[in-house]
Amino acid sequence: MNTELDSLIKNTQTIPGWLSIKEGVFLYFLSQKTPLNGIIVEIGSYKGKSTVFLGSGIKNTNGTKLFSIDPHVGSIEKPQEYKKIDTFGEFWGNIKLFKLEKKIIPIKKTSLQAIKIFSEKIDLLFIDGSHIFKDVKNDLSHWVPKVKKGGWVIIHDATVLPGPWKASKKFLIFSPKFQNIGMIGSMIFGKYTDPENILVKFKNIFLNFFSYLYIISYVIMRRIKNWIKY
């Protein structure tokens, strides 16, 4: 039994957010595999639930940092709160509660503002900002080029919302630059390889297609269950 993980799961349930336990555990274990002095970037942190899972995975590592990017002004998808609230205080309070201040570097900007001042190469990129297709597309097109070969890209809500789903298909699933495409909960993920060999590119596309068939079957079944429910 992993008592540290059990405690993490229990204590993060008080943090508001839409990250499931299995998604959080996946982020925790994947962040643990980040290389020494590695860089993790999270786009969209809200009140810190995913940040705590990612940060806890690197808590005892040397040099690895997590950049958490969020303007903390609410969601553009919720006009009743957008630019009328400030969630940073609660976010940082949760970071301090889990004693992660030395690992988390908050950037209180939008994704497109932050990319202009960001110069690091990324080992793990987690995208959970605006779910509007244009915004997810911008996140991927601007941030993926900063991911190291062998790094991971994860998109939250990709199997449940049209914006992230459409962007995931275009930039991950059907891209020859990615392999090891997979899904857990609402997240779609892939390893960035950007191969130069044309045969490897075709191999990636071929294998990614079978991953797509698995993912789309899940998406369809989920929708059918929701239709039956109502």
Per-residue confidence (pLDDT) for residue 193, from 0 to 100: 96
Distances, alpha carbon 139 to alpha carbons 40, 64, 155, 169, 190, in Å: 15, 22, 10, 14, 15
**Domain containing residue 125: CATH number:** 3.40.50.150
**What per-residue confidence (pLDDT) applies to 229?**
52
Rounded-to-integer distance, Cα 88 and Cα 132, Å: 22
> For the segment 183-210, what is each residue's pLDDT rounded down to a tens digit?
999 999 999 999 999 999 999 999 999 9
The whole-number average pLDDT for the span 95-118 is 97
Per-residue pLDDT band at 230 (split at 50, 70, 90): very low
The count of domains in the chain is 1
Bridge-based pairing state of the strands 122-127 and 104-107: unpaired
pTM of the model: 0.94
Determine the structural domain holding residue 27 and report its residue range.
Answer: 3-229
**What one-letter code names the amino acid at 146?**
K
